[in-house]
Amino acid sequence: MAGRLTIVGLGPGDDQLLTPQTRAAIAAADVAFLRTNRHPAASALGDVPSFDEIYERADTFDAVYREIVERLIAATEAGDVLYAVPGSPLVLERTVELLRAAGDTGRIDLEILPAMSFLDAAWAALRIDPVEEGVRLVDGHRFAIAAAGQTGPLLVAHCHAAHILSDIKLAVEDPPSSVIVLQRLGLVDEKVFEVAWSDLDREVDADHLTSIYIPELAAPVAAEFARFEELVRVLREQCPWDQEQTHASLRRHLLEETHETIEALDARAALSDDEFDADLDEHLAEELGDLLYQIFFHARLGAERGSFTVADVARGCHDKLVYRHPHVFAPDGGDLVEADDSGSVVRNWEQLKAQEKERESAMDGIPPSLPALMLALKIQKRAASTGFDWDGGPEVAYVDVEDELAEVREDPSEHEVGDLLFAAVQVARRLDHDPEAALREAAHRFARRFRLVEQDADNLGIDLSSAPEAELTTLWAAAKRVAG
């Protein structure tokens, strides 16, 4: 007959916090296991095996816990076994949850001894009554999901790494100004201190005995974004395709999703701002989601390297936008910068960006691989932001196009044709049109008209390759009337 598995808790600190019952169970055990040696009271069991090596090689925490459970169940086939876990067996112990489920189905004979948890030490350190305060206990690994809809107070356990603290920061839309960090409670080097929310993953040297107390949240946790980040993490760990991807291999997919999003935007842009089309809006939302997935995926790769997380991406973009909008957010507590129109905003933006990047020229930092029309527009706008521009509105650009066209007639070289196209971009800029979008629509418009030309020619028995110019002109005029 299989033996019994007795589960004991090592308490929150060193072996002084072990209960007499736990000490007696340890002394009586012939076979014992530690979930981890990384605990101040682990030495109370002497030289017994732990499951730390599973943590080193398993891909996920869930895989770690399930293997530990299977090993313990197998060990009881030879007799009684003792299993020691940090803190209390009944507080945030996933292996104990799984073992209890196995016990409910009759796979194992289980006994769980009560123990002091880190919660008792936390309430003492915080000097609060958790019942009166209505504190909710949350696992830091699952903060976004477990804390969804909560407004605090929250005690967040298992905050053993900077990336977990970053994920917690990401999940909160309207964070408190500060939180209380609790580390190594019950030990001689116990620390309880306050830290600014913005510095949570920067100033805290997180370890396996770190928790944070959030007295209050003004708004519920942003569960959707955090659930999305969690989904990306799970897919990366468990999907063979996602596991193979790199920044380089994802480049093509990012480009494809960008073009598909632009296509959806173009379809929506064909309507006025106040027109409603549920299908178009649903399609646009879907394409934006696909593009968002690419961003989260690249951030996940950065997190795996220990380089940056999606929280760093969001924080960096947030801080940059605040810095580059001094007409909205007063810089360093000073006065708002004046910006009466969008042109002023763009000029301020480029000047701040140049200072930030320490650029010597307004032309620095323009990606040379941009599509040609976008590149030309970017260069012209950068030059204009310095004041290098001519008065006269689009009329000045019209004259420029006429001059360049005359030069092409004299010298039909690629050089002169390029100058003509650059001048055409100048017209678009002066008229506040996007030349890329304008040319794309012109190309689509031509394609629609040409399909009609093909249909009419086929109906009339006209061979386009040998038809006289007059017939081609007639076909084209008819297509323009129909297709616009």
In tens, the pLDDT along 295-318 reads 999 999 998 888 888 888 888 888
For residue 152, the model assigns a pLDDT of 74
For residue 243, the model assigns a pLDDT of 93
- Residue 73 vs residues 37, 52, 88, 337: alpha-carbon distances, Å: 20, 18, 20, 68
Nearby residues of 338 by Cβ (< 8 Å), 6 or more positions away:
327, 344
For residue 334, the model assigns a pLDDT of 64
Tokens matching residue 329? 């957010």
Q: What does the radius of gyration of the chain's CA atoms come to, in whole angstroms?
A: 33
Judging by beta carbons within 10 Å of its beta carbon (0-12, 13-18, 19+), is residue 226 exposed, middle or buried?
Answer: buried
- Residue 281 vs residues 228, 255, 284, 285, 441: alpha-carbon distances, Å: 21, 21, 5, 6, 20
- Residue 280 vs residues 85, 259, 274, 398, 444: alpha-carbon distances, Å: 54, 16, 13, 36, 19
Pairing type for strands 191-196 and 178-183 reads: antiparallel
Rounded-to-5 percentages of helix, strand, coil across the chain: 60, 10, 30
* Relative orientation angle of helices 162-171 and 310-323, to the nearest 10 degrees: 60
Tokens matching residue 6? 């007795």
Where residue 152 falls (left for φ over 0; alpha for ψ -120 to 50; beta otherwise) is left
For residue 185, the model assigns a pLDDT of 87
DSSP 8-state assignment for residue 336? P
Identity at 278, one-letter amino acid code: A
Which helix (H) or strand (E) is 91 found in, with range? none
Torsion angle of the four alpha carbons 466, 472, 478, 482, in this order, in degrees rounded to the nearest 10: 70
For residue 198, the model assigns a pLDDT of 86
For residue 333, the model assigns a pLDDT of 58
Token pair 């603290």 is found at 165
- Which residues of the chain register pLDDT less than 50? none
pTM of this prediction exceeds 0.75: no
71 close to 81: Cβ distance less than 8 angstroms: no
* Buried/exposed 189-225: b ≥16 CB within 10 Å, e otherwise: eeebeebebeebbeebebeebbbbbbeebeebbbbeb
75 close to 33: Cβ distance less than 8 angstroms: yes
What confidence tens digit (pLDDT) does each residue in 25-62 have? Answer: 999 999 999 999 988 899 999 999 999 999 888 777 77
Q: How many CA atoms lie within 13 A of 319 on its CB side?
A: 9
Instruction: Measure CA of the first residue to CA of the last residue in the chain; give whole Å.
Output: 86
For residue 169, the model assigns a pLDDT of 84
For residue 84, the model assigns a pLDDT of 95
For residue 332, the model assigns a pLDDT of 66
Residue 384, helix vs strand vs coil: helix
DSSP 8-state assignment for residue 221? B
d(CA 165, CA 201): 5
Residue 19, helix vs strand vs coil: coil
